Chain A
Amino acid sequence: MLGNGMIQGLLVTARNLLRSYFDPECLTTIQYPEERRTLPENSRCFPFLVYDGTPDNLRCVACKICEQECPPQCIYIEVERDAKTGKPVRRPRVFDIDYSVCMQCQICAEVCPFDAIKMDQIYELSGTDRFGGMLMNKGALLKSNEYYHQMHPTEANEVDARLSQSKKKASPPAAKPAAAPITLQSAPPPRPTPSAPPSPSVPPTPPVPPKSDV
Chain B
Amino acid sequence: MIQPLTMPEQGYTLTPKEDAIETQMLEVSMGPHHPSTHGVFRMDVVLDGEEVRRLKPVLGYLHRNHEQLAEKMNWLGSIPFTDRLDYFCSMTNNWAYCLAVEQLAGIKVPERAEYIRVIMAELTRLQNHSCQAGFLLSDTGAWGTPLLYAFREREKILDLFEAASGARMMCNYMRFGGVRADVDDDWLAAARKVVENYPCFIDELEALITGNEILLARTQKIGILPRELAINASITGPMLRASGVDYDIRKVDRYGIYGRLDFRVPLGEVGDVYDRYYVRILEMRESVKILQQALRDIPEGPSDAGVKMRNFKVPVGDGYGRIEGPKGELGFYLVSDGSTRPYRYHVRAPSFINLTILEDMCVGHKLADAMVILGSVDIVLGEVDR
Chain A residues packing against B (C-beta within 8 Å):
2-6, 8-9, 11-13, 28, 39-44, 65, 69, 71, 103-107, 110-111, 119
Q: Which residues of A contact B73 (CB under 8 A)?
A: 71
In the complex the two chains form, what is the Cα distance from A63 to B159 in whole Å? Answer: 35
Q: Which residues of A contact B180 (CB under 8 A)?
A: 106, 110
In the complex the two chains form, what is the Cα distance from A132 to B301 in whole Å? Answer: 46
Stretch touching chain A among B210-218, B232-240, B257-265: B210-218
In the complex the two chains form, what is the Cα distance from A8 to B206 in whole Å? Answer: 10
Could you tell me the distance in whole angstroms from the C-beta of B186 to the nearest C-beta in chain A?
A: 10
Given contacts A2-B213, A9-B209, A105-B172, contact A111 B166 (CB under 8 A): no
Given contacts A71-B73, A111-B310, contact A8 B164 (CB under 8 A): no
8 Å CB contact of A5 from B163, B170, B216, B309: B216
A3 touches B77 (CB 8 A): no
B213 touches A71 (CB 8 A): no
A12 touches B208 (CB 8 A): yes
8 Å CB contact of A106 from B166, B204, B211, B212: B166
Given contacts A28-B152, A106-B172, contact A71 B80 (CB under 8 A): yes
B214 touches A12 (CB 8 A): no
Given contacts A5-B216, A71-B77, A71-B81, contact A43 B166 (CB under 8 A): yes
Could you tell me the distance in whole angstroms from the C-beta of B64 to the nearest C-beta in chain A?
A: 12
Interface flag for B337 (CB, 8 Å): no
A69 touches B208 (CB 8 A): no
| Nearest neighbor of A4 in chain B, beta-carbon distance | B211
In the complex the two chains form, what is the Cα distance from A107 to B76 in whole Å? Answer: 9
Q: Which residues of A contact B293 (CB under 8 A)?
A: none
Q: Which residues of A contact B215 (CB under 8 A)?
A: 5
Could you tell me the distance in whole angstroms from the C-beta of B152 to the nearest C-beta in chain A?
A: 5
Q: Which residues of B contact A2 (CB under 8 A)?
A: 1-2, 213
Q: Which residues of A contact B159 (CB under 8 A)?
A: 40
In the complex the two chains form, what is the Cα distance from A8 to B216 in whole Å? Answer: 14
B residues 163-185 in Cβ contact with A at 8 Å: 163-167, 170, 172, 180-181
In the complex the two chains form, what is the Cα distance from A43 to B181 in whole Å? Answer: 12
Given contacts A42-B163, A42-B165, contact A12 B309 (CB under 8 A): no
Could you tell me the distance in whole angstroms from the C-beta of B35 to the nearest C-beta in chain A?
A: 23
A28 touches B155 (CB 8 A): yes
Q: Which residues of A contact B81 (CB under 8 A)?
A: 71
B residues 208-232 in Cβ contact with A at 8 Å: 208-216
Interface flag for B253 (CB, 8 Å): no
State the majority secondary structure of interface residues on B: helix
Q: How many residues of B contact A (CB 8 A)?
A: 37
Could you tell me the distance in whole angstroms from the C-beta of A209 to the nearest C-beta in chain B?
A: 21
Given contacts A42-B164, A106-B172, contact A12 B204 (CB under 8 A): yes
A to B CB contacts below 8 Å, 18 in the list: A5-B213, A5-B215, A8-B207, A8-B208, A9-B207, A9-B212, A11-B207, A12-B207, A28-B155, A40-B162, A40-B166, A43-B163, A43-B166, A44-B166, A71-B78, A103-B170, A106-B166, A110-B309
* Closest 5 pairs (CB-CB, A-B): A5-B211, A105-B80, A44-B166, A40-B163, A71-B77
Interface flag for B145 (CB, 8 Å): yes
| Nearest neighbor of B205 in chain A, beta-carbon distance | A12
Q: Which residues of A contact B164 (CB under 8 A)?
A: 42
Could you tell me the distance in whole angstroms from the C-beta of B225 to the nearest C-beta in chain A?
A: 25
A6 touches B77 (CB 8 A): no
Told that A9-B207, A103-B170, A105-B80 touch, could you supply 7 new A-B pairs with CB distance under 8 A?
Answer: A42-B164, A42-B166, A69-B77, A69-B310, A71-B73, A107-B77, A107-B172
In the complex the two chains form, what is the Cα distance from A12 to B202 in whole Å? Answer: 12
Could you tell me the distance in whole angstroms from the C-beta of A158 to the nearest C-beta in chain B?
A: 11
B162 touches A43 (CB 8 A): yes
In the complex the two chains form, what is the Cα distance from A97 to B167 in whole Å? Answer: 20
A104 touches B310 (CB 8 A): no
Given contacts A11-B207, A106-B166, A107-B80, contact A69 B212 (CB under 8 A): no
Interface flag for B74 (CB, 8 Å): yes
Q: Which residues of B contact A13 (CB under 8 A)?
A: 145, 208
What 0/1 readout, one digit per residue, does chain B (105-127) give for beta carbons within 8 Å of chain A? Answer: 00000000000000000000000
In the complex the two chains form, what is the Cα distance from A49 to B79 in whole Å? Answer: 23
8 Å CB contact of A8 from B152, B155, B211: B211
Could you tell me the distance in whole angstroms from the C-beta of B211 to the nearest C-beta in chain A?
A: 3
Q: Which residues of A contact B163 (CB under 8 A)?
A: 40-43
Q: Which residues of A contact B207 (CB under 8 A)?
A: 8-9, 11-12
Given contacts A3-B213, A8-B207, contact A111 B309 (CB under 8 A): yes
| Nearest neighbor of A119 in chain B, beta-carbon distance | B166
Could you tell me the distance in whole angstroms from the C-beta of A172 to the nearest C-beta in chain B?
A: 28
In the complex the two chains form, what is the Cα distance from A4 to B170 in whole Å? Answer: 41
